[in-house]
Every structure is written in structure tokens, then in C-alpha cells.
A and B are shown apart, each in its own frame.
Chain A
Amino acid sequence: MTHYSLLEFTRIVKQTIEKNLDPTYWVVAEIGELRVHPKGHCYLELVEKQNEQIVARMKATIWSYTYHELIHWFQRITGTDLKEGMKILTNVEVQFHEAYGLSLNIHDIDANYTLGERQKIKKEILNRLEQEGLINRNKELSHPLVPQNIAIISSSHSAGYEDFLGQLKSSNYAFHTSFFPAEMQGPDATKSVVNALKTIFEKINDYNLVVILRGGGAQADLDCFNTYLMGKAIARFPLPVITGIGHERDETVADIVARTKLKTPTAVAEFLINGMRSFEDGLTKNFEIILGKAQRELITKTNEVHQKADKIKYSFGQLLINANSRTVVTQQRVINALGHQKKHRINELDRFSKKVNLSMQVCLNKSNQELAAMEKFFHFSDPQYTLQRGFTYSTIDEEPIYKKKKLQIGDIIKTLTSDQTIKSIIEEIN
């Protein structure tokens, strides 16, 4: 049994490979890992997966002079860099080095294959969104009449975002913008944008629409806008979404499902300003129509008011005249009535006073008569009156004779006449 040193053995392997293999092969593989050395060489790991399990793996190298030329074309055709997860069709030469083992030297990469592959993936995503009824969901939303409250998703250092804001500001329309920063490229971009949409959704009533902006500049990496998750998130969003992700090539999934797709942030700003302007024009037009109507109405109403005022004035005049004449009549009637009343009262008073006078006179007369009777009575009652008529008044011991029971001879009688007092002695009693 022959013994080989390892070097001898590896040389045998190398010779066998060189002898049996073609100079180059076209191989389809996925880029598992990729790094570019500072000197310009590109080191890759190519893999093939089945159900996410790596079933084949090989190292590969693109030497700097090849890489430099190759990547230029690749970017021009696909619009993207080589990157991990990308499927490529590559022309490789198998190399075996005694010290470093087996590796592939990449001579060429078919950019069109990758392009096709990417379009295939994109188509699959679009098909899926269509099957799920999502693809036109955002498109069915109508644009707000006044696009005033705008949620902006962009990267914080993006020049496109700054330009966009400047443009809105110089329009002098009152745009209210809220900024939701997100990564707009790289492996985490999809998740970042979707999260920003979720944040906006929490305050959905504060906004009229969502704008996704990405500043132009260097060759774009649009992969994050071509994912199913991004497409779904935009399509299902309940506010209209406008994309302005700045690229010249095919539209991305995000562009397709968005309510409105515009090429650049500048175009988006223009679109929003036009929206405002057409609303303002509409307002102005309506205002003019209203103003015209109002003026006509004002004139009509003014005339009506004048007419009514005249009518009222006339009616009032009539009323005043009527009222005046009525007043005069009433006044006369009152005066008459008062005169009548006065006369009546005076008559009444007159009658009454006469009556009083009469009764007083009657009373007075009665008193006079009474008094006269009394006077007469006392005139006749006066003893002097009787004596003057010749009668005398005789007493014995101060007692009237007619009252004296027993008269005796010799009693002294005092007799009173009208002008004399006589004393006499009883001589005889019969």
C-alpha cells in the first residue's frame, strides 16, 4: 500500500479535478454570505436551500478586477447590489488549492437571471395580494378633499424629506405634517416601515393621508418595498397612501398597492399642493357664486323691506288719522257726558238742598209753633194776668182760702188784687 504525503495527495485531487471538470460551469445558487474585502475582492458563500435547510454550500471569490466591472453592470440592470439571500446565475471555475481547499472563482454573473428571478418573486407577491383581495384595497380609498394632516414616513436624514417639507411650506397652505422615522433600506426596512404605519394607525383620526418618502441620491435599494409584508401593510392601511420613493425603474410592490404612486418626494409635494389649490379654487368659485346670490338676494330683500316700510308708514298714517278722529269724537262724547252729569248732579243737589231747606223750615216752623203755644200757655198761666182781669187771690195764714176746711168768724183774710193787698175780717160764714 502506497503512502502519500498530504501535499502529494492534495495534488492528486487537484489534478483529478483539473483533468475531469470543464473549465467553467453556469451554476444557479443563492448568496448565503457576502463580504467585500478592502482590497476590492469579494468573498461569498453560495448555498442551495430546500425547505430552508442548506443542502449544498461552497465558497466563492470574485477577484477585484472582475468584481469592479461586474458589479457595475449588475447594478445597472437590476437596480440593486449583490446581497445575501439573492439568487444568481453565475459562471464559475472550480479551483482547488492545496492549502485552502476547494473554492469557486466567479467569472461572471447573469444579471438578467437575477432580474427575472426578482420579478418572479414580485409577481408571486402581487398574485398573493390579489388572491387575498388586498391589491386594490388602498386604491379604493378616495383622496381627502383637503389633504391637510399628513403623516410622513421617511428616514430622518433624508434629503428628499427636507425638500418635501420646504416645498409644502413655501406653498403657504396650512399643511400639518407629522414625521414617523423609519429605515428606508437594508434588511430591517420593511419591518421599520410597517411599524411606522402601525404607530400612525393608533392615531388614525389625526391624519388625512400617509406619505412614504425616500430621498433619491445613490442607486437605490428597493428590496424592502418589494416584500409581501410591506405590500400587505400599505394595501390594508385605512388612509390613502402616497409613495414617493424616488426611482426610475419598475414600480415596486409598495407603489402598486399604494393609493397614488409618484416618482419623487417633489412630485408628492406638488400633488398635495395641487390638491389644496383645486380645493381653494373650488371654494373661491363657490364663494363667488354665493356672494353673487347673496348680493341679488340682498337687493331683492332690501326692496321688499322698503316696500313694506312704505306700506307700514301708510297704514300707520291711516291709523293715526282714524285714531285722531276717534279721539276727537270720544273727547266730545266725554265732554258731553260730563256736562250732562254735571247738570244732573247740580239739579240733584239743587233739589236736595231745596228739600233740606224745606225740611229745615218745617222743623223750624214746628219749633216756632211749639214755642208760641208754650208762650201762650205761660202767658195765661201767669197769676198777674188773672189778677189783671179782676180776679183776686185770698189766703188765710198764707194758705189759699179754697183749701181751708174750717173758716172761723174773726179770721183775717189777705186778698191780692192786681195792684193791691187787702186785709179783711170774716164777719159771717154762710
Chain B
Amino acid sequence: MAKEPTYKEAMEELEAITHQVENEEPDIDELSKLVKRAKELIQLCKKKLKKTGKEIDDAMKELED
């Protein structure tokens, strides 16, 4: 299993996919594959953001105590 990409790597891949979708006219199968990959990545990023948000909240709560 491939290593889980970092947020930055995921974003870069997403940018690259966007660029490919917008400019390279992939055929429908390819497009389906790209979108699927993109959705995975977005899901990953969402998870990371949520985790980060919770971490920040926890940290702030700790500071306030």
C-alpha cells in the first residue's frame, strides 16, 4: 500500500488533476478515473483539516486553562 500523501502532496496532486481535466480533454474513462482519484484526495484532505481544526481547538482550550 502506498504511503498516505501529506496535505501538501495531496493538494499538489489535486492541482495537477485539475490542470489535466481543464486542458487535456481526457476521454470519459480517464476522466472517471481522475475524478475518482480527486474525490479520494479531497476526502483525505478534509479528514486532515478536520483533525487539524480539532487540534487547534484543543490547544487553545489548554492555553485558556
Which residues of A356-375 have CB atoms within 8 Å of chain B's CB atoms? 357, 360-361, 364, 367-368, 370-371, 374-375
Q: Pick the interface stretch among A3-11, A224-232, A378-386.
A: A378-386
B32 CB contacts on chain A under 8 angstroms: 382-384
Which residues of B2-50 have CB atoms within 8 Å of chain A's CB atoms? 7, 11, 14, 17-18, 21, 27-28, 31-32, 34-35, 38-39, 42, 45-46, 49
Question: CB of A89 within 8 A of chain B?
Answer: no
A367/B31 in contact, CB under 8 A: no
B60/A378 in contact, CB under 8 A: no
A368 CB contacts on chain B under 8 angstroms: 49
A383/B38 in contact, CB under 8 A: no
Separation of A370 and B10 alpha carbons in the complex (Å): 13
Question: CB of A324 within 8 A of chain B?
Answer: no
Question: CB of A100 within 8 A of chain B?
Answer: no
How far in angstroms is the closest Cβ of chain B from A348?
A: 13
Which residues of A377-430 have CB atoms within 8 Å of chain B's CB atoms? 377-378, 381-384, 393, 400, 416
B42/A375 in contact, CB under 8 A: yes
Contact among B7, B11, B35, B45 for A382, CB-based, below 8 A: B35
B35 CB contacts on chain A under 8 angstroms: 378, 381-383
B46 CB contacts on chain A under 8 angstroms: 371
A367 CB contacts on chain B under 8 angstroms: 7, 45, 49
Question: CB of B63 within 8 A of chain A?
Answer: yes
How far in angstroms is the closest Cβ of chain A from B36?
A: 9
How far in angstroms is the closest Cβ of chain A from B24?
A: 12
Query: What is the 8 Å Cβ interface bit string for chain B, positions 49-65, against chain A (1 contact, 0 not)?
Result: 10011001000100100
Task: Return the chain A residue nearest B42 by Cβ.
Answer: A375
Separation of A367 and B11 alpha carbons in the complex (Å): 10
Separation of A383 and B31 alpha carbons in the complex (Å): 7
Separation of A353 and B38 alpha carbons in the complex (Å): 35
Contact among A353, A377, A400 for B63, CB-based, below 8 A: A353
B60 CB contacts on chain A under 8 angstroms: 353, 357
Query: Could you say which interface size class chain B belongs to?
Result: 20 to 34
A364/B52 in contact, CB under 8 A: yes
Separation of A416 and B29 alpha carbons in the complex (Å): 12
How far in angstroms is the closest Cβ of chain A from B37?
A: 9
Binding site secondary structure of chain B = helix
Separation of A382 and B45 alpha carbons in the complex (Å): 19
A371/B31 in contact, CB under 8 A: no
A416/B42 in contact, CB under 8 A: no
B38/A374 in contact, CB under 8 A: yes
B39 CB contacts on chain A under 8 angstroms: 375, 378
Separation of A371 and B21 alpha carbons in the complex (Å): 16
Separation of A381 and B25 alpha carbons in the complex (Å): 11
A364/B49 in contact, CB under 8 A: yes
Separation of A353 and B31 alpha carbons in the complex (Å): 44
A382 CB contacts on chain B under 8 angstroms: 31-32, 35
Task: Return the chain B residue nearest A382 by Cβ.
Answer: B35
A361 CB contacts on chain B under 8 angstroms: 56
Task: Return the chain A residue nearest B53 by Cβ.
Answer: A364
Task: Return the chain B residue nearest A377 by Cβ.
Answer: B18
B17 CB contacts on chain A under 8 angstroms: 378
A364 CB contacts on chain B under 8 angstroms: 49, 52-53, 56
Separation of A400 and B14 alpha carbons in the complex (Å): 26
A378/B28 in contact, CB under 8 A: no
Query: What is the 8 Å Cβ interface bit string for chain A, positions 339-366, against chain B (1 contact, 0 not)?
Result: 0000000000110010001001100100
Separation of A383 and B39 alpha carbons in the complex (Å): 14
Task: Return the chain A residue nearest B55 by Cβ.
Answer: A360
A377 CB contacts on chain B under 8 angstroms: 18, 21
A384 CB contacts on chain B under 8 angstroms: 32
19 additional A-B residue pairs with CB within 8 Å, beyond A364-B56, A378-B17: A357-B56, A364-B49, A367-B7, A367-B49, A370-B11, A371-B49, A374-B42, A375-B39, A377-B21, A378-B21, A378-B38, A381-B31, A381-B35, A381-B38, A382-B32, A383-B28, A383-B31, A393-B28, A416-B28
Q: List 19 A-B contacts (CB under 8 A).
A: A353-B60, A357-B56, A360-B56, A364-B52, A368-B49, A371-B45, A371-B46, A371-B49, A374-B42, A377-B21, A381-B21, A381-B34, A381-B35, A381-B38, A382-B31, A382-B35, A384-B32, A400-B27, A416-B28
Q: Which residues of chain A have a CB within 8 Å of any CB of chain B?
A: 349-350, 353, 357, 360-361, 364, 367-368, 370-371, 374-375, 377-378, 381-384, 393, 400, 416
The 10 closest A-B pairs by CB, nearest first: A378-B38, A382-B35, A383-B28, A353-B63, A360-B56, A375-B42, A357-B60, A378-B35, A371-B45, A381-B21
